[in-house]
Structure formats: structure tokens, C-alpha cells
């Protein structure tokens, strides 16, 4: 399956996430955005795609900033150029060898695009420069809309997105990339010939920036309290209510995710089971929950923890707000009419959710990553996992889809939540 970006950590974790929450579950089509005719021969002067900019008025500012950063990075790292090596997603991020390619290009390569008139598949890199420019802007508009929808569902996510935007902007500024805004398109090749940087060096610098942020004491205040008093003020949900939601909405093979709610999103390491949800958590539902399912049945989920690695656990462990999530595939329908082009998407939930649980069960007993491997946890799967890379790896193997940031070797709970190949089945509050 071809797929879209997800985002730093989520940027392209998100970048190019393109699914509205409502359409996820309903397999619906978004209305194609139509843009106005620009004046011809504008040289390198930007042309405003008016219908696109009209849509942006309803976009959350942080979602817009996130996607503007994505556009800036795509242009600044020459992502419009075809990758030298064609890689299937199933092989991507198995180790650090993926870093030889621009992850933005790999994402564009993996998109499933269909021509509206002919129904034939379209290769992004076979498009003209003008087509690529308009397509990417419309794609990023869909990303921004999706991010806005999920911010509305989980307002705490906005704090994380803001932090990511600040970090990404710092790296962009240091590399002196020309800032790009969605809705403004330059005509011709000149817009793609401005200053660019080596993609491998840029993304390494971005990885390092996030790793530094993750290891900065000021971003991990809860860790300083180990051995003393820790107060997270994290809400609880009655276990019987959790069971009710799972019984009503969850299928075997759906996954569950709790988003950090302490406003320090870069503290990822679980410090014991009693605080795991304070830094976010994810697991896979391993059986159909019924009225007879025992709350302490340790076959209810498959999860990964620092102690005992991949293991079966019970419903009682999920007595905190979380989301029941499904996985879907995404296709883009493209109509090229110059600046009257249109783009919309089709989402199809996977018909075999059991496959995710089946893959997870193959890894029972596998270890949790070493503490120094956490920032690059993808590269150590399937030998060792985090709670989130277990979901990511199994989705990759079961469906050939990416449910995390395309360019980050770390998977976060928020990245799973916001990815365009995941959708909300239930909000357990």
C-alpha cells in the first residue's frame, strides 16, 4: 500500500496526513477543492490559489504552521525529485539504511493516486512541475484540515504540535530555507531552483534536535520526581465503563492509544506501569470483548513495557482516557485542470483487523528497547519494541501502511493518533 507522511515526529507523523475524522469511519469522499484561474506568465511571483486559501480560514493556526513547515522542507530538500532507489514501505525504516533517501520523496513515491477521468494510477514523479506544485498544496490543505479535526477532538494535542513546530522552525531557519506557505504557488521551474540543502544532513539535524529536546531536563519534570512525590493529576475512567466501550466499539485487531496529558510531550520513556499513561501509551486489542470477558483477563490486549517486553494484559490497565483506533488505506483522486485542478481522497478501513493482532502475537516475549535506543526505536524492531513501535511494525507487516511519521525513527502515541491511516472508533472518556 502506498501512503502519506506523518509528522516531526509527527510532521510527515503527519505531514501529509489527509483524512478527516468523519470520513475515516464512513469511507467518504471530500469535495474537490477548485482553484481560480491565475494570470499567466507570472515568472517567479507567487499565485494565490484562492479556493485553497478560502479553506485555510477554518484551519487551526498550529495545523497550518505545521503544514507550511512541511512545504518548506519539501522544496528545500528537493523532495520533488524521484528517489534513486525504489523501496517498498514494508522495507522502509527496518534500519538506518533508509536515511540515504529523502523521506519526503519516499512518501510522495508511495502515494496511491488515481486519475479521475481514466481511473488509471498516477505516479507523482511523472507529473509536470506545475502539476506537482498544485498537487502538493492541495495535499497539504487536506493534511491541515485533518490535523484541525483531531485538535478539536483532543485539544491537548495542540500543545505537542506547537512544540514540534518550534523545533522544526529552528532547523529550517538555521539552514536558511525559503519559507513556503500553502496556497501560494510559483510558476515554472524557477520556484524549485532556490537554495536547497542535502536531505540526509537536514533530516539528521532534525532528528538530533528532537533528541536533544527529549533529553533536556526541563522537558521531563516528572522524571526528577522519581523516588519522591509525583503528581500528574491524570483523570481516571471506571474500568467497567472502559469494558462497555470496548465491547460496543472495539474489534480484535483495533488498537488503543492514550495521549500524554501533562503538556511535556517529549517525555516518552515509561517510568513503571503506575505512570505509563502520563507519557502516553498504545496497545492492540487481542480478543473480542464481550459481557463475559473478565476485567483481569490477561489475553485481552497485546502490549509492550519496559518490564517483560511484549505481553498480554487486561482491560483493568486502561482505566484512563484513551481512544479506540482503526486502520485504513487512503487513495487520492486527482483531476488536473491547471489551476482549476481538484484533489480528493477515498478512505477504506481494513477489512481484516484480526491481522494486526495476529502479527502482534508473533512477538510475545520480545524485549523492550534499551533506553539509549528509544529515539531510533524503529530500527530495532522486531528484535526489540516500544509500545508504539509494536503497533507501527505490525501495521506495516499486516497492511503495508505507515502509521507514524515518515521521517522519524521514533513512533509516538500522538503520531499514531494523528496519522492519516488511522481513524477514531471510540473516545473513551
**Residues of the domain holding 26:** 21-223+323-428
Query: Quick one: pLDDT at residue 262?
Result: 37
Whose cell is 496511491? That residue is: 112
d(CA 71, CA 279): 30
Query: Residues 372-420: pLDDT tens digits?
Result: 888 778 888 999 999 999 999 999 999 989 898 776 777 888 889 989 9
Query: Residues 131-156: pLDDT tens digits?
Result: 999 999 999 998 899 899 989 988 87
Total domains in the fold of the chain: 1
The pLDDT of 100-121, averaged and rounded, is 89
DSSP strands (E only) in 289-383:
301-305, 309-313, 322-335, 342-349, 367-368
Question: Which stretches within 250-310 are classed as H helix?
Answer: none
Query: Quick one: pLDDT at residue 41?
Result: 38
Here the cell at position 273 is: 506501569
Here the cell at position 339 is: 489551476
Query: Residues 248-286: pLDDT tens digits?
Result: 999 999 999 988 653 343 334 443 344 445 567 899 999
Query: Quick one: pLDDT at residue 214?
Result: 62
Q: Most confidently modeled of 97-106, 214-223, 387-396?
A: 387-396
How many CB atoms are located within 10 Å of the residue 46 CB? 15
The three-class DSSP label of residue 350 is: coil
Average pLDDT, the chain: 79
Higher pLDDT pick, 268 / 239: 239
d(CA 203, CA 70): 12
Cα distances (angstroms) measured from residue 253 to each of 25, 243, 286: 16, 16, 6
Q: Is residue 265 part of a domain?
A: no
Q: Is residue 114 part of a domain?
A: yes
Share of the chain above pLDDT 70, in %: 73
Nearest to 336 by CA among 124, 80, 190: 124
Q: Is residue 136 part of a domain?
A: yes
Q: Is residue 385 part of a domain?
A: yes
Whose cell is 497485546? That residue is: 302
Here the cell at position 348 is: 477504506
Q: Are 177 and 76 in contact (CB under 8 A)?
A: yes
Q: Is residue 274 part of a domain?
A: no
Nearest to 403 by CA among 64, 61, 19, 35: 19
Query: Quick one: pLDDT at residue 45?
Result: 63
The residues that bridge with 333 in the sheet, in sequence order, are: 114, 344
Higher pLDDT pick, 181 / 371: 181
Nearest to 10 by CA among 183, 222, 266: 266
- Whether 184 shows a pLDDT value over 90: the answer reads no
d(CA 425, CA 248): 10
The pLDDT of 237-241, averaged and rounded, is 94
d(CA 62, CA 34): 24
pTM, two decimal places: 0.79
Residue 95 DSSP class: S
Query: Residues 334-360: pLDDT tens digits?
Result: 998 876 788 888 999 999 999 999 999
- Whether 224 shows a pLDDT value over 70: the answer reads no
Query: Quick one: pLDDT at residue 378?
Result: 86
Query: Residues 187-200: pLDDT tens digits?
Result: 654 455 567 899 98
Low-confidence winner among 37-51, 248-262, 308-322 (lowest mean pLDDT): 37-51
Q: Are 70 and 406 in contact (CB under 8 A)?
A: no
Q: Is residue 260 part of a domain?
A: no
Q: Is 316 exposed, middle or buried (0-12, 13-18, 19+ CB in 10 A)?
A: middle
Query: Quick one: pLDDT at residue 50?
Result: 67
Q: Are 107 and 3 in contact (CB under 8 A)?
A: yes
- Whether 364 shows a pLDDT value over 60: the answer reads yes
Helix (H) or strand (E) holding 248: helix 239-249
- Whether 226 shows a pLDDT value over 70: the answer reads no
Q: Is residue 163 part of a domain?
A: yes
Q: Are 419 and 6 in contact (CB under 8 A)?
A: yes
d(CA 417, CA 149): 12
- Whether 6 shows a pLDDT value over 70: the answer reads no
Q: Which residues contact 155 (CB under 8 A, 6 or more apart)?
A: none
Q: Phi/psi class of residue 99: alpha, beta or left (left: φ > 0; alpha: ψ in -120 to 50)?
A: alpha
Q: Is residue 396 part of a domain?
A: yes
Query: Quick one: pLDDT at residue 342?
Result: 87
Q: Is 346 exposed, middle or buried (0-12, 13-18, 19+ CB in 10 A)?
A: middle
Higher pLDDT pick, 283 / 186: 283
Amino acid at each position: 500500500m502506498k501512503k502519506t507522511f506523518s509528522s516531526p515526529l509527527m510532521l510527515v507523523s503527519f505531514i501529509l496526513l489527509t483524512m478527516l475524522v468523519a470520513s475515516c469511519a464512513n469511507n467518504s469522499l471530500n469535495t474537490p477543492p477548485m482553484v481560480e484561474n491565475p494570470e499567466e506568465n507570472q515568472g517567479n511571483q507567487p499565485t494565490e490559489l484562492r479556493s485553497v486559501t478560502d479553506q485555510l480560514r477554518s484551519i487551526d493556526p498550529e495545523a497550518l504552521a505545521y503544514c507550511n513547515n512541511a512545504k518548506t522542507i519539501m522544496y528545500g530538500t528537493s523532495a520533488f525529485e524521484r528517489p534513486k532507489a525504489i523501496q517498498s514501505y514494508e522495507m522502509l525504516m527496518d534500519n538506518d539504511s533508509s536515511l540515504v533517501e529523502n523521506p519526503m520523496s519516499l512518501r510522495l513515491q508511495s502515494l496511491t493516486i488515481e486519475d479521475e477521468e481514466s481511473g488509471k494510477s498516477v505516479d507523482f514523479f511523472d507529473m509536470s512541475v506545475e502539476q506537482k506544485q498544485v498537487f502538493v498544496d492541495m495535499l497539504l490543505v487536506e493534511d491541515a484540515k485533518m490535523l484541525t479535526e483531531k485538535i478539536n477532538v483532543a485539544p491537548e494535542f495542540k500543545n505537542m504540535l506547537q512544540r514540534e513546530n518550534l523545533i522544526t522552525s529552528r532547523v529550517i531557519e538555521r539552514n536558511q530555507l525559503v519559507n513556503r506557505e500553502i496556497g501560494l504557488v510559483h510558476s515554472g521551474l524557477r520556484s524549485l531552483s532556490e537554495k536547497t540543502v542535502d536531505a540526509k544532513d537536514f533530516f539528521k539535524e532534525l532528528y538530533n534536535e528532537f533528541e536533544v529536546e527529549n533529553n533536556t531536563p526541563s522537558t521531563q519534570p516528572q522524571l526528577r520526581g522519581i523516588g519522591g512525590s509525583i503528581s500528574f493529576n491524570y483523570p481516571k475512567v471506571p474500568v467497567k465503563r472502559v469494558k462497555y466501550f470496548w465491547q460496543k466499539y472495539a474489534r480484535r485487531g483495533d488498537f488503543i492509544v492514550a495521549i500524554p496529558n501533562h503538556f511535556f510531550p517529549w517525555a516518552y520513556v515509561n517510568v513503571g506501569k503506575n505512570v505509563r499513561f502520563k507519557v502516553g501509551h498504545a496497545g492492540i486489542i487481542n480478543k473480542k470483548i464481550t459481557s463475559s470477558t473478565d476485567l483481569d483477563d490477561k489475553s485481552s490486549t497485546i502490549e509492550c513495557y519496559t518490564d517483560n517486553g511484549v505481553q498480554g494484559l487486561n482491560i483493568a490497565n486502561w482505566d484512563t482516557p484513551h481512544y479506540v483506533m482503526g486502520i485504513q488505506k487512503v487513495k487520492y483522486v486527482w483531476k488536473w485542470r491547471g489551476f482549476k485542478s481538484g484533489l480528493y481522497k477515498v478512505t477504506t478501513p481494513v477489512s481484516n483487523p484480526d491481522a494486526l493482532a495476529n502479527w502482534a502475537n508473533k512477538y510475545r516475549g520480545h524485549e523492550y528497547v534499551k533506553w539509549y535506543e528509544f529515539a531510533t526505536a524503529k530500527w530495532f524492531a522486531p528484535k526489540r519494541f516500544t509500545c508504539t513501535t509494536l503497533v507501527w511494525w505490525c501495521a506495516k507487516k499486516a497492511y503495508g501502511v505507515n502509521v507514524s511519521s515518515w521521517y522519524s525513527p521514533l513512533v509516538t502515541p500522538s503520531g499514531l493518533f494523528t496519522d492519516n491511516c488511522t481513524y477514531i472508533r471510540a473516545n473513551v472518556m
